[in-house]
Copies of this chain bind each other. A is one copy, B any other.
Amino acid sequence: MAVTIADSQPIRTKKKIEKILEEKKSGTGLCAIQDFLDHLGDRWSMVVIFHIGYANKLRFNELKKRVTGISQRMLTVTLRSLERDGLVIRSIFAEIPPRVEYELSPLGASLLEAMMRLGEWAREHQSEIEQARRKFDKKK
Residues of A within 8 A of B (CB): 13-14, 16-24, 26-27, 30-39, 41-43, 46-47, 50-51, 53-54, 68-69, 83-87, 107, 110-111, 114-123, 125-133, 135-137
Contacts and interface: CB of A to CB of B under 8 A. Distances in A.
A33 B21 contact: no
Pairs of residues from A and B, 6 with the lowest C-beta to C-beta distance, nearest first: A86-B132, A114-B121, A36-B122, A32-B123, A20-B119, A32-B122
Number of copies: 2
B43 A38 contact: yes
Nearest to A41: B41
A30 B84 CA distance: 27
Given A16-B116, A41-B37, A116-B13, A84 B132 contact: yes
